[in-house]
Chain A
Amino acid sequence: MSQELMMDLPDINRRRLLKGVGIATGLALTIGINDLVRAAVAEPAKKYGGDAMPGGLKEDVLVFVSIGSDGIVNIVAHRSEMGQGVRTSLPLVIADEMEADWARVRVVQAEANEAKYGNQNTDGSRSMRHHFEPMRRIGATARMMLETAAAAKWGVPRNEVRARNHQVVHQPSGKTLGYGELAVAAAKFPVPVRDNLKLKSAAEFRYIGKQNTRNVDGQKIVTGTTHYGIDTQLKGMLHAVIARPPVLGGKVKSFDASAALKVPGVLKVLELKSSSLLPPLFHPLGGIAVLASNTWAAIKGREALKIVWDHGANAVYDSQTYRKILEAAARKPAKVVRNHGDAAGVLARDGKKFVAEYYQPHIAHGTMEPPAATAQIVNGKCEAWACVQDPQAALDAVAAHLGFKPVNVRVNVTLLGGGFGRKSKPDYVVEAALLSQAMKGKPVKVTWTREDDLHHDYFHTVSLEHMECALDAKGMPTAWLHRTTAPTIASTFVANAKGGAPFELGMGAVNIPFNIPHMRVESPEVQAHTRIGWFRSVSNIPHAFAVQSFVAELAHNAKRDHRDYLLELLGPARKVNPDSIEDGWNYGESPQRYPLDVGRMRHVVELVTSKAGWGRKLPKGHGLGLAFCYSFVTYIAAVVEVVVGEDGEISIPRVDIAVDCGPQVNPDRIRSQAEGACIMGASLTLTGEISFKNGAAQQSNFHEYQVLRIDEAPREIHVHMVEHALDVPLGGVGEPVTPTIAPAICNAIFAATGKRIRTLPIRDQLKA
Chain B
Amino acid sequence: MSVHVAPLKTYIYVFLALMFFTVLTVGVAFVNFAHHAPKGIGNVLNDAVAMSIALTKAVLVVAFFMHVKGSTKITPVVIWGTLIFMVILFVFTGADYLTRPMTTFVPVMSQ
Chain B binds chain A? no
